A = this chain, B = another copy of it.
Amino acid sequence: MAEKRILLAHGAGGRLMRDLIGGVFFPRLGGEVLTRGEDAAVLEKADGRQWAFTTDAFVVTPLFFPGGDIGRLAVFGTVNDLAAMGAKPRFLSLAMVLEEGLDLGVLERVTDSVARAAEEAEVQVVCGDTKVVERGAADGIYLCTAGLGLIEGEPASPARVQAGDAVLISGTVGDHEMAVLLAREGLPFEAELESDCAPLAGLVAAVRGEVEVHAMRDPTRGGLGAVLNEIAEQAGLQIEIDERAVPVAPAVAQVCEVLGFDLLYLANEGKMGFFVPAAQAARAVEIMRAHPLGKSAAIVGRVVEGRAGRVVLNTVVGGRRILDLPLGEQLPRIC
C-alpha cells in the first residue's frame, strides 16, 4: 500500500478500499471463505442447509435523513447482503458504540427504527452489545450488525456469471447518497430527495422464483461502478453498460449534475444488480416492475468475453469509455 495513513477514502468502496482489503486484510486473515470477497460468507453445508453470514458497520451522518436513518440502514444493509447471496435473512446481531452525552431520545428513536426495519425485513434481532466512549471519541451512534440467512437453492455468485448474461438493475440509482448529502449540507434544492433504503429479499425471491440468477450484488458504497468492477474481476469477464439505460430519478440527475457527482458511483441502499441469462432478462424486468421495490427496473448492459475485469460504458453522447473502480469516495460517511 502506498498510503501510510488511513484516509477517509479507504472506507469508500473504491480502489483504496480494495487495496486495504487486498493489501492488509486478506494476506493476514486469509481463509478461502473470506478471500472470495463476496457480500456474505457461505458457510459449510450442514445436513442440507447452508447459511450465509455477513457483517457491516454503520457510521452515517446525519443519523436521520429523508427516507431513512442509521437503524434502517443497518438492518437493510445487512439483509440485502444476505439476499445478494440468495439467502433468506433470518437472524441479526446488533452492536452499538455510543458517545457519552448522547440524548436518550435519539437512542430510543434509532432502536425503534431498528425494530420496525427488522419486522419489515422479517428478521429477528437475537443478540447485541453496547459500548460507550467519551464525548468526542465517536459521533453520536455507530451501529454494527451481523446477519445470518438460509440459502435457498444454489448460492448466487460471481463465479457463475457467463459471457452473454444480461446486467439488470432493480431501479433508479443515486437516491440514497444524494438524499444524505442534501440532509447533511442543508443545500437549497427544491427537489425533495429520499433515500431508497429498503429490504430486498422479497424482490430477489420473486425474481429467483422464475429466473435463473447467476449473481447479484447491491450497489452500496462506490455505487454501480464499483459493483460492476468487482463482478467483472471476480468473474474474469468484461461488462458493457449503456449509460442511457441506467434509470435515474430526474431530481437526482439534476442535483448530481449541478454538484458534479458521477451517478454511477453513487451509493444505493435499496437496489439490486442482477446477472441473468440474456433470454430471461425481459422476464426478470417484468417480475421486478410488478414488485413495489422494482418499478424502475431495467436491463443496463451485458457480459462479454473481452478483457477480464474491465467495465466499458457506452455513454449518452455515443462514446465509449472505461468505467474504472473509483479511487475513493465522492462523499464520506453515507452508510
Give how many copies assemble into the complex. 2
Q: How many residues of A contact B (CB 8 A)?
A: 80
Alpha-carbon gap, A3 to B3, bound state (A): 44
- Is A212 positioned at the interface, with any CB of B under 8 Å from its CB? no
Could you tell me if B129 and A56 are in contact, using CB atoms closer than 8 angstroms? Answer: yes
The answer to the question of A172 belonging to the interface, with a C-beta cut-off of 8 Å to chain B, is no
- CB-defined contacts of A102 to chain B, threshold 8 Å: 5-6
B104 touches A1 (CB 8 A): yes
Which residue of B58, B132, B137, B144 is within 8 Å of A138 (Cβ)? B137
Q: In the bound complex, what is the Cα–Cα distance between A127 and B126 (angstroms)?
A: 19
| Cα(A249)–Cα(B333), bound, Å | 45
**A99 B6 Cβ-Cβ under 8 A:** yes
CB of B57 within 8 A of CB of A129, answer: yes
Q: Would you give the shortest CB distance from A68 to chain B, in whole angstroms?
A: 17
**Which of B46, B56, B131 is close to A59, meaning CB atoms less than 8 Å apart?**
B131
Taking CB atoms, residues of chain B closer than 8 Å to A321 are none
- A-to-B contact residues, CB < 8 Å: 1, 3-12, 17, 20-21, 24-25, 28-31, 33-34, 40-41, 43, 46-49, 51, 53-59, 91, 93-105, 107-108, 111-112, 114-115, 118, 124-134, 136-139, 142, 144, 146, 148, 332-333, 335
